[in-house]
């Protein structure tokens, strides 16, 4: 059973390590992380802008701040937790693990990110700025 759980454990270790680093090294302090290239060149917020600040707030138990910094990222954190749990339980039971995203799901995901990106760059979407 331990061999079946090696991959989920490794992935969880990497994610916990990344969140621990972002939780320790504050992205709100200048000079710790590189600036977003799209924001630097065009002045437009990409769908990932605010993701590090969102993760930092999430680690520190500030869900409202995390949502304001980057709401899709918070949804991604929660989705990762669900998918990882299903993966781990199925692996522990010796069941096959297959996650297949249908084209409709990928298109919906892309559409949500596109709408989020456009809205956060319009004047009435200023509340979505990181």
| Cα 85 from Cα 120, distance rounded (Å) | 32
pLDDT at 122 over 80: yes
Burial 80-116 (b: 16+ CB within 10 A, else e): eeeeeeebbeebeeeeeeeeeeeeeeeeeeeeeeeeb
What value does the mean pLDDT of the chain take?
A: 92
pLDDT tens track for 93-108: 988 888 888 999 999 9
Q: What is the pLDDT of residue 36?
A: 87
pLDDT at 1 over 90: no
Average pLDDT over residues 70-91: 94
- Burial label for 49, CB within 10 Å (0-12, 13-18, 19+), is buried
Name the pLDDT band for 130 (thresholds 50, 70, 90).
confident
| Cα 109 from Cα 29, distance rounded (Å) | 31
Q: Is the Cβ–Cβ distance between 68 and 58 less than 8 Å?
A: no
């Amino acid at each position: 059973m331990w061999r079946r759980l090696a991959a989920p454990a490794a992935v969880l270790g990497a994610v916990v390590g990344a969140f621990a680093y972002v939780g320790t090294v504050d992205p709100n302090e200048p000079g710790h992380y590189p600036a977003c290239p799209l924001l630097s060149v065009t002045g437009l917020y990409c769908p990932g802008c605010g993701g590090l600040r969102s993760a930092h707030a999430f680690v520190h138990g500030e869900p409202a701040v995390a949502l304001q910094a980057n709401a899709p990222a918070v949804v991604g954190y929660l989705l990762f937790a669900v998918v990882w749990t299903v993966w781990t339980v199925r692996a522990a039971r010796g069941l096959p693990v297959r996650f297949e995203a249908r084209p409709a799901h990928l298109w919906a995901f892309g559409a949500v990110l596109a709408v989020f990106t456009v809205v956060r760059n319009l004047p009435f979407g200023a509340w979505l700025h990181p």
